[in-house]
Amino acid sequence: MIDPKSQVKIIAKGLPASPGAAVGKVVLTAEDAERAADKGEKVILVRAETSPEDIGGMNAAQGILTARGGMTSHAAVVARGMGKCCVAGCGAINVNEVQKYFTVNDLVVKEGEYITLNGTTGEVMLGQAPLVTPELTGDFGIFMKWVDEYRKLGVRTNADTSHDSEVARKFGAEGIGLCRTEHMFFAPERISAVREMILADDTEGRKKALVKLLPMQKSDFIEIFRVMKGLPVTIRLLDPPLHEFLPHAEEDIRALAASTEVPVEKLKARNKALEEFNPMLGHRGCRLGVTYPEIYEMQVRAIMEAACELSKQKIKIIPEIMIPLIGHVNELRMMRELTVKTADEVQKRYNTKVSYTVGTMIELPRAAITADEIAAYADFYSFGTNDLTQTAFGLSRDDAGRFLPYYIEKGILENDPFVTLDQKGIGVLMKIGVEKGRKVKKHMKMGICGEHGGDPQSVEFCHKIGLDYVSCSPYRVPIARLAAAQSSLKEKSKKDLSRTTV
């Protein structure tokens, strides 16, 4: 947020499309944003309006400012999804993309000049306002304590790094609901080992590369576990399709060929072989674990070695190992066996015991429908409502930009189903999953780790269907806590009311 004590000059006001604050140099195209970010510069992307081609630039920018579009415009929807500050529909500005400036009345703001956005109020400021990290102290701290007295729903966070975990813990997160291990794979010093694994011709070759990854993954887990000591940490095993880790631009392929001594032609052939028509519905999630068990085995080993080492230091660790994209109980049965076998080995080797659990995401309609069968091999369920929305609606989030804004504008859909949970469709599948799962395991722990976990309306729904916790991005933890308390109070007042009238 902008330091409340700062003196800033407000030059325009638009819609508060995505909260938070951002400071950066003005850029007028997505390409410029990406180029500047590559050089380590902080920029604000200013556009007449954004379109799907701007995604890369939006991601690279600190914040986004658009002249046109409402609260459900492309810029607004995407920015909220990214957790990025955005002021949309700021009609007072006039964007000249070609000559690289924008105007507000007589004021001309050129590329490279600093501006500041306040996504919570919609204000646009000239210059660099000082930003401060909002803290949960004073009145706010007292208020949040009251909130916690009333809520029943636990609130966790989605965090892949120790930094995010720390932020979330400060905001009151009671554990990690989703730690995505693949983000760790992308770091420059690791990606080469990941690529070596993908390019290997056989299991032996893959294992050799995985040995290099093991200590890196382990050290990540040690850091995260330390920050989260005493609290549960749900770690999801590798999820995305392998081709996401290979380079695709000609120059990157050549660079990789040079560094790995794998011929360019072979690299291209491998890329081609891994290409998919519908990667979202392809060789990913537990399908990777089933076909290349050595990958998941390495990940489980890294988790358990980290846990055992900290446990020996008397640090309390609660690892929850989560298998993604289960569609059939047999997948989970196999992956659970692999996990338990590996975890047992590690514990034996360290001569220590760490209690851990193995669970799965419910993120495919078939998993929700067969949640009773799957429950036999799961200690917990986490509803992956991003993918559940994509599959049950038959709607690719990456492609929906071409028609979803029109759908919302015309009232065909009331809300963007990726922002606010679609209770009538996706919600019913969740309910089926909860009921079927708890029919088999009465007290099975269940949560949500889709982005809906930070949306107040969706949090209320999660409360109603009896989830144990929601998990959301670190900065949304306080709002999720508040929404959870409001849900409890709402329920209570309804009950009181019905008692009175009866």
Q: What residues are labeled active site?
A: 74, 449
Check residue 398 for interaction with a second copy (CB under 8 A). yes
Q: Which is nearer to a second copy, 206 or 445 (CB)?
A: 206
Give the C-alpha separation, 437 to 392, whole Å.
19
Count of chain residues binding a second copy (CB under 8 A): 49
Q: Which is nearer to a second copy, 129 or 448 (CB)?
A: 448
What residues from 121 to 150 belong to the interface with a second copy (CB under 8 A)? none
Check residue 19 for interaction with a second copy (CB under 8 A). no
Check residue 293 for interaction with a second copy (CB under 8 A). no
Check residue 429 for interaction with a second copy (CB under 8 A). yes
Q: What's the alpha-carbon Rg for the chain, to the nearest Å? A: 24
Query: Where would I find the H helices in 108-158?
Result: 138-150
Strands (E), 127-268: 154-158, 176-180, 232-236
Q: Is the Cα torsion angle 247, 249, 250, 251 positive or negative in sign?
A: negative
Q: Which is nearer to a second copy, 51 or 105 (CB)?
A: 51
Q: Which of 79, 167, 317, 392 binds a second copy (CB under 8 A)?
A: 392
Distance of CA 112 to the CA centre of its chain: 31
Nearest approach, Cβ of 394 to a second copy (angstroms)?
A: 4
Give the C-alpha separation, 143 to 152, whole Å.
16
Nearest approach, Cβ of 396 to a second copy (angstroms)?
A: 4
Give the C-alpha separation, 385 to 400, whole Å.
16
Give the C-alpha separation, 64 to 285, whole Å.
32
Check residue 248 for interaction with a second copy (CB under 8 A). no
* Beta strands 63-66; 357-362: pairing state: unpaired
User: Of all helices (H) and strands (E), which one includes residue 249?
Assistant: none
Q: Which is nearer to a second copy, 21 or 426 (CB)?
A: 426
Q: What SS3 state is found at 68?
A: coil
Check residue 430 for interaction with a second copy (CB under 8 A). no
Check residue 370 for interaction with a second copy (CB under 8 A). yes
Q: What SS3 state is found at 388?
A: helix
Nearest approach, Cβ of 16 to a second copy (angstroms)?
A: 28
Check residue 280 for interaction with a second copy (CB under 8 A). yes
Check residue 440 for interaction with a second copy (CB under 8 A). no
Q: What angle do CA 271, 272, 277 make, to 5 degrees?
A: 110
Of the candidate spans 27-35, 42-50, 244-252, 320-328, the one that interacts with a second copy by CB under 8 A turns out to be 320-328
> Which residues contribute to the site for a second copy (CB under 8 A)?
276-283, 287, 290-291, 325, 327-328, 330-331, 334, 363-366, 369-370, 373, 387, 390-396, 398-400, 402-403, 406-407, 410-413, 422, 424-426, 428-429
